Chains A and B, each alone.
Chain A
Amino acid sequence: SQQGEEDPQALSIQEGENATMNCSYKTSINNLQWYRQNSGRGLVHLILIRSNEREKHSGRLRVTLDTSKKSSSLLITASRAADTASYFCATDDLLQGAQKLVFGQGTRLTINP
């Protein structure tokens, strides 16, 4: 079955620096989404990028999608302490049913003040 994989598994940077997280997946998709999860909390939807899009921006977030390489990246610019969280990519699996999201293991991001 398809599984997204985030890279790196953990990332620690200084406040103000940029953070880049990558995600790879295995099968054809309709869209790819990024979510944030603070420790012990639910998931917050950050951004959705469709398979026919290559780049999308939302505030300090920039997401790219390369369907030929089956990969996506999430860039957070000018990081803040409040960005400390786990970040997950999620894809919908066209083969198994577009209604279910397939999540990666996540990247644990720590922003040091």
Chain B
Amino acid sequence: NAGVMQNPRHLVRRRGQEARLRCSPMKGHSHVYWYRQLPEEGLKFMVYLQKENIIDESGMPKERFSAEFPKEGPSILRIQQVVRGDSAAYFCASSPQGRETQYFGPGTRLLVL
């Protein structure tokens, strides 16, 4: 049973470009969460999605960031017009239902030059 998959594992972008991060949850999991980790810090919640619905996006920056979890395919975290401050590790987690253990993917490390 494959775990949570994220790709790419590493992503380099120049300021002003777009970054697309993908997450495939564990089989049978319909709840997806995105977190961001800055160097030497803990993870910070960004957004919680179920299939085709954004449930809680209270941790998402108001501009440039968006997330989706379509009926078919992976969840996508999209960052438009990236800035250096967006450089971080972005982790996706999934769970079979809310209030259960969240299983994390390996993360995507974004570097903005």
Residues of B within 8 A of A101 (CB): 33, 35, 43, 45, 93, 102
Number of interface residues of B (CB under 8 A): 25
In the complex, are the beta carbons of B99 and A92 less than 8 A apart? Answer: yes
A90 to B33, CA, bound (A): 14
Stretch at the interface among A14-22, A39-47, A52-60, A71-79: A39-47
Beta-carbon contacts of B94-107 to A below 8 Å, as 1s and 0s?
Answer: 00001101111111
Binding site for A on B (CB under 8 A): 31, 33, 35, 41-45, 48, 55-56, 58-59, 91, 93, 98-99, 101-107, 109
Given A43-B93, A99-B31, 5 more contacts at CB 8 Å?
A: A30-B99, A40-B109, A41-B107, A101-B43, A102-B45
Can you list 17 pairs linking A and B with CB atoms under 8 Å apart? A4-B42, A30-B99, A31-B99, A42-B91, A43-B43, A45-B101, A45-B104, A48-B101, A88-B42, A88-B43, A97-B48, A99-B56, A99-B98, A100-B33, A100-B59, A101-B33, A103-B35
